[in-house]
Structure 1
Amino acid sequence: MNAHDAVPDDVRTAYEAACTRLLSLQSDDGSWEGEMEWNTTILSQYVIVLRVLQRPPDEGSRQGMVTHFRNTRTPEGGWGMHPAAPPSPYATLLAYVALRLLGLGPGDPLTAGARKWLGTQPGGARCVPQWGRFWLAVLGIVPYREVAPFPPEAMLLPRWFPLHPERLLGWTRMLYQAMSYLYGARFRADLGPLADALRRELFATPATPSAPGPDVVFPRGRLLRALQQCLRGWERVHSRRLRRAALERCHHAVVDEQYASPVHGLSSVNALMECLVLFAHDRRHPMLDAAVARLEYWRWADEKNGVRICGERSLVWDTTFAVQALLAAGPQHRSEQAASALHKACTYLRAARITTYPGLNPPLRKVIGGWAFSDGDSRWPVGDCTAEAVDALLGARDALGSGAGPAGTDGPLPPRSLSGALDVILDRQNRDGGFGTLDRQRTGRWLDVLNPTEMFAQCMVDSSSVDCTGSALTALARMRGLLPPRERRRADAAIRRGATYLRSAQNPDGSFAGTWGINYTYAAFHAARGLRAAGAPPDDPALRLLGHWLTATQLADGGWGEDWRGCVEQRYIALGHALPEMTSWAVLAGLDTLGPGSPSVAAGVRWLCTAQEADGSWSDDHVNAVFFATMMINYRLYAAYFPTLALGRYLRAVTPITPRGAA
């Protein structure tokens, strides 16, 4: 059966239902946002910080937090690092401590079950990675000598030095300057008798040598162990005067971030650490009250799952893809309600563009003219978020005309705004031609060898990724025709270099490895759209090879599904059943490689139509994204807008474009 003959009616019905569902999820301000479901570790850290700051939650919040811990506990009695994971010593240890701080006794079913499970692990609570030990040291439960050294003196190194913190990835750099202050000051909270009780409960058995626990995915290598041994020696002989200067440098860096991000921090983890630094520096610090108040931004609550703290907010990111999904099928499939929603969304995205930087010191990267992942109050623009916002706004401009913007403007994105967006995107292009996120790569990947976290990978430098590069090339290709000649030449050169990077990143079997989504399927979507945007025809050898890989990995049910474990093991692992996001990414990549007439693409589309619920939704209870290679996330709205986008683009590809209302 030819895909052009019988499928479009089914696809049209499914697409219209998906659009109706998507429209129902739009907020009054024009944005979309779904919860980024992760794990309980940030909630645990939030509870710890409130206790250290002597600002206990109100009773309603306390009950909501306990509810969330209860609802997310695994059958074994612990807590996992993501919704699909087995129990984690790190997450379980922090949850146990947080529950005790919330007033639960050691005999409560939640705490007793957690302690029992920890006791089954080799070494018990001692098997937690270094980040767990750091929090125990902050609480005064273990001495700082058991924590990997975070010397603040690194902040005093010359900026050209290879180990200067400025060379780190932005998230890591901000954490380092806060953690190193707490480590260097040997800050310890006063829990009173509870500290001794926790010490007895968690370390009831004598210490014995044990293998690294299951959270230690990347054990410390010989070079890192040698460096840490030297740093421990430094802790015994360092100059007190130099230590005071280093601590003050860390404190100033935290204060600068408070000014640079006056509404909320870079992430919830960073914001929590910075509160501790301000408190450790001065319990009556003039910025502390505002810093604590900002933590409310990261709070997520509902009656079913209680109170939790999200790792990130995704308003800009979700809104850009929702806009693209509503535009995907073309004007003949766009309702008046959708057009109105697009106008509101464009207004939101325009307002979310970063136009000021209130920090005390010049930023390390281009800021003005970009978009953050979260919202317009963030001062941390991200390369692919900026690219997707540009793509969405220019797509709306092409589809809706200048009316997509407020009266008296030049449409959703005036030409003068394109220059700022171009600068932000190009500032994230690395020497290899690929694009990063917050920063340009400032040192070699060799720095990953010195990664002290034991739990994360790819967290030391802002390396290029296929995902970010595909987004950047798509936006650059769309905006280039609107740029003046000089900037157009800059965009063209960046596109050529980016396409070269994508070709070099392709694996021999045709696949690409992802960085921010799961995993090879997500990368296929971005690689295909990026190469097509760069001018590659469908029969380009790289695209043909990617098309063969898509066909070879298609499941018997017609869809695609990828196991999250492949991110950790750095290989493709298929699931036994399809998932809506991964099927959507594969269909979108297939449209750019195999073409709309391909049986594989048609089968994927049929799976999406069949898997759709009566209300126009798809199942959204599975992990679909990743950060730092090991931390899995579930973006709740991925299952809403990516299938809509795939169905819309397929529908547009297989049906002729006719004026709406024509016979």
Structure 2
Amino acid sequence: MSALATQTIVQPLPPSVKSASRLESVLHTFGLDPALTRARRCLLSLQNPDGHWRGELQGDTILESEYILLMAFLGRENEVKVRKAANYLLSQQRPDGGGWSNHPGGPVDINVSVKAYFALKLAGFSADEPAMRLARAEILRLGGAVQCNSYTKFYLAFLGQFPYENCAAVPPEMLFLPRWMYFNIYAMSAWTRTIIVPLSLFYAHKPVRKIQAERGIAELFVDDPHRPLWPHTPTRRLFTWTNFFLAADQVIKWLEVWGPQTVRKKAIDMAAAWMVEHFTDSDGVGAIYPPIIYTIISLHCLGYANGSPEMQYALKQLDALMIETDDTLRVQPCFSPVWDTALSLNALAQADAACGVALAPQPGSARPQGAIAKATRWLLEREVRRPGDWSLMNPGIEPGGWFFEYRNGFYPDVDDTAMVLMGLARSGQAWDRCGTPLTPAPSPARGEGSLSPDAPSARGERSLSPDAPCAGGEGSLSPAVQRGINWLLAMQNRDGGWAAFDRDINHEILTKVPFADHNAMLDPSCPDITARVLEALGQFGIRVGHPQVDRGIDFIAKMQDARGCWIGRWGVNYIYGTWQVLLGLEASGYDMNLPMVRRAVAWFQEAQQENGGWGESCQSYDDPSLAGQGVVTASQTAWALAGLLAAGEAHSDAVHRGIHYLISTQGPDGNWIEDQFTGTGFPKVFYLKYHMYRLYFPLMALARYKNAQTINNEKADDSVNYAWPATVQR
């Protein structure tokens, strides 16, 4: 069945409810309160006993394919798990049988399809089977396996299907480069760094596991893959960075043959030490799937026995990512417990506020032992208190913040840190002493303009010491929250925006390196993370008038699309980016009547579909004209609603129709059905389905809607207002 065939049919909103003045009809006829209650109950039922949440994180089939390829390299391709992974691969083939996509409903992807085809052959499937013939024809139509990217070619190389000489060079000598040099590994994105260091080790050894010819994929090559090939297509113009790096690639390969081997050995030792060091306080290097795979191969090349602690450690991290059923096996790219817990905490706190549930304990009382208290305790236990890669290019900052996974101490990230801080603030758990939050300061009513730059809280004139009392003398910020805010402020880029893991990883030249074709070499500022930081800072009174907030808003303004929307780096796509920007601007005290906001509102209204929902395909990254178009989903509808509510559209027809869509499509268990991928790993390359997005984001939207209505369309300001230093102390 095609993705379009799963489109939910929603009965149209009756005329009596289409008027923005008929609020009661929406609340009572369509059951807002019961919907909130069901979703809240469903979310609580998914909480683990220790207080955290974690939903499945699903990627495309390269995960299962690469697992099978790894098992073949290790000589374990006949294991039962391999056959189960192959069964899953077949179940995910496009309905027309013509290959595999990197997201549901997407076009055939050459890398995903070649890996799947090869994996199935290694698992024992014949090239003559109907599904294989159809896939092969589509792969050849796209130019054959030689059209794959660098990372796919490495998988083909270690199984003898493609020569290392035609792969992009990934020399371990890169680790020799000092941090002040333009091309050092710390000028690359964190995820690229965790991939290429172990990759450089097995590239240096160039291992090959010979397989039987009938299990190979010679039939997927249009031309002989062993003839000399550039690892990337040169440009017509001679003097370009692409051609420079291609020339450097050839020099490196010449030096590998004729250069002193003592240098290569020292580089291998350095890369191996870096890799093993990053096992510390981590569920694998970077705690993500690709480096775990490369680590296993590298350890094998370095001579580690299967029973060695290092190899057992890496294999354990891989096994943990598997979800096995009677007939299938699928692999997750990583775990998302901190992210899911922080978002669930935000959703639960907002739902409890909408339903009138007390969030904070009474003065002098012990902390509650309920779901929120358990979640906050679990999150606080995972605060990062050690320096990581980020600190090498951003020295002098006290460690703080949170990561995405269970353990990933080298790599806290801005997005998770911001979301955790918001969850702690909204749930009243960001303050020590008696545990009560600061008394919220009044915000300007919508339409009265931005916060005055002359206000002390806006300028950030006074520093807050760890023991400073909050408003009313009821408590003070917890040290973890103070460290988290300081860390966020310290991670701002020179252009005013925020990125995911590091500061100023934006050297465009590096995108011309031959192995940079995964479209994720850099970690530049992006509107969605910048806006999420602004939303988090706004919960603590750091708003318009604070110089770092103002610079962040300037960055957002420069990034707005001419149509009024913003691109999303970590979610699909323009709906995600635009939603988060509107929430960040509102929390910052920005005037939501200004043209930048109204253009975004108009874009959301235009993108709304006939059934009242919103949807957008991953294809909008390849074709921006598809922005805001696609199969309607619960998560993207919730994002659009939250953005419109932040812009003061609580009584608009668009919002009522969107709320009606969510209520009408909710299941009896309180959850929603969602088949599409709405998360983004690497744009144009790798997308994600967060299985909890379909629950906690709609719950947030419903709660925000009720909160907006119950306060008679006044701004529900759950933030607090105190002074913070105008610039972070380094």
TM-score range, shorter chain: 0.7 to 0.9
Provide the rounded CA distance (Å) in 2 between the counterparts of 1:367 and 1:136: 44
TM-score scaled by length of structure 1: 0.86
Whether 1:562 aligns to 2:616 is: yes
CA deviations over 1:614-634 (Å, ceiling 9, x no partner): 332222111212222112222
Q: Which residue of 1 aligns with 2:426?
A: 395
Deviations 1:625-658 (A, max 9, x none): 222211222212111111110010000110149x
1:309-458 correspondence runs (5 A): 309-331=331-353, 333=355, 340-356=370-386, 368-376=399-407, 378-397=409-428, 415-450=478-513, 452-454=515-517, 456-457=518-519
Alignment of 1:97-176 (within 5 A): 97-107=118-128, 111=132, 114-118=135-139, 120-176=140-196
CA distance in 1, matches of 2:337, 2:233: 35
| TM-aligned CA distance change 1:311 to 1:404, over 3 Å | farther
SS in 2 for 1:518: coil
Residue 578 of structure 1: how far off its partner (Å): 3.0
Distance between the aligned counterparts of 2:213 and 2:150, measured in 1?
19
Check if 1:648 corresponds to 2:703: yes
Distance 1:34 1:139 in 2: 34
1:644/1:443 Cα in 2 relative to 1: closer, same or farther (>3 Å)?
Answer: closer
Question: For residues 145 and 389 of structure 2, what CA distance do their matches in structure 1 show?
Answer: 42
Residue number among 103, 109, 112 corresponding to 1:82 in the alignment: 103
User: Are 2:216 and 1:198 aligned?
Assistant: yes
Name the counterpart of 2:64: 43
Query: Quick check: 1:474 aligned with 2:535?
Result: yes
For each residue in 1:215-248, what CA deviation from the matched residue of structure 2 results, as whole angstroms up to 9, or x when unmatched? Answer: x9x9765532442133213312452233222222
**Contact 2:293 2:318 (8 Å CA) reproduced:** yes
Q: Equivalent residue for 2:587?
A: 533
567-576 vs 218-227, greater mean Cα deviation: 218-227
Match of 2:288 among 245, 267, 276: 267
What's the offset of the Cα at 1:139? 1.8
SS at match of 2:537: helix
> Of 272, 289, 297, which residue of structure 1 is paired with 2:312?
289
In structure 2, distance between residues paired with 1:391 and 1:345: 13
Paired letter, 2:246: Q
Counterpart position of 1:616: 670
| Aligned counterpart, 1:17 | 38
Q: Size of the alignment, in residue pairs?
A: 634
Query: What's the RMSD between the two structures over aligned residues?
Result: 3.5
The code of the aligned residue for 1:635 comes to Y
* 2:252 is equivalent to residue 234 of structure 1: yes
Cα deviation for residue 505 of structure 1 reads 1.5
Change (3 A) 1:261 1:107: same
Match of 2:5 in 1: none
Aligned equivalents of 2:612, 2:425: Cα separation in 1: 33
Query: Contact 2:642 / 2:701 at 8 angstroms: preserved in 1?
Result: yes
Partner-residue secondary structure (3-state), 1:634:
strand
Name 1:485's counterpart in structure 2: none
Partners of 2:161 and 2:415 lie apart in 1 by 41
Judge conservation of contact 2:430–2:477 (CA < 8 Å) in 1.
no
Structure 2 letter corresponding to 1:646 = A
User: CA 1:196 to 1:256, structure 2 compared with 1: closer, same or farther past 3 Å?
Assistant: farther
- The Cα shift of 1:382 comes to 0.9
1:627 aligns with 2:658: no
- CA displacement at 1:339 relative to structure 2: 8.8
SS at structure 2 position matched to 1:259: coil
2:273 maps to 1:252: yes
TM-score, reference length from structure 2: 0.79
Q: Does 1:493 align with 2:554?
A: no
Query: Which amino acid in structure 2 is aligned with residue 394 of structure 1?
Result: A
- Residue 106 of structure 1 and its aligned partner are, at CA, apart by 4.3
- The answer for the alignment partner of 1:638 in structure 2 is 693
Q: Secondary structure at the match of 1:544?
A: helix
SS in 2 for 1:543: helix
Flag the 1:511–1:288 CA change in 2: closer, same or farther, 3 A.
Answer: same
Shift of 1:590: 0.6
Deviations along 1:71-119, one digit per CA (max 9) or x if unpaired, are 212232522222332332212222233233334454556655544543x
Question: Structure 1: any 5+ residue segments left out of the alignment?
Answer: 482-487, 658-663
| Residue type at the aligned position of 1:153 | E
Tell whether the 8 Å contact from 2:638 to 2:698 is kept in structure 1 after alignment.
Answer: yes
Q: Which moved more, 1:96-105 or 1:11-20?
A: 96-105
Closer, same or farther in 2 for the Cα pair 1:18/1:101, shift >3 Å? same
Distance 1:83 1:403, change over 3 A: farther
Alignment of 1:301 onto 2:324 = yes
**395-404 or 423-432: bigger deviation:** 395-404
User: Hey, what does 1:484 align to over in structure 2?
Assistant: none
Which structure features the higher share of helix residues? 1
User: Which amino acid letter does the alignment assign opposite residue 97 of structure 1?
Assistant: F
For the residue of structure 2 that corresponds to 1:287, the secondary structure is helix
- C-alpha separation in 2, matches of 1:568 and 1:399: 41
Q: CA deviation at 1:530?
A: 1.0
CA contact (8 A) 2:194 2:285 kept: no
Verify: 1:460 aligned to 2:521, yes or no: yes
Which amino acid letter does the alignment assign opposite residue 212 of structure 2?
Answer: L
SS at match of 2:688: strand
CA–CA distance in structure 2, aligned partners of residues 260 and 344 of structure 1: 23
Distance 1:580 1:27 in 2: 24
1:243 is aligned to 264
Q: Per the alignment, in what secondary structure is the counterpart of residue 212 of structure 2?
A: helix
2:389–2:410 Cα contact (<8 Å) kept? no
Would you say the 8 A contact 1:155–1:164 is kept in 2? yes
- 1:15-52 Cα distance to aligned partner (Å, 9 max, x none): 22221222222222222222222112122222222333
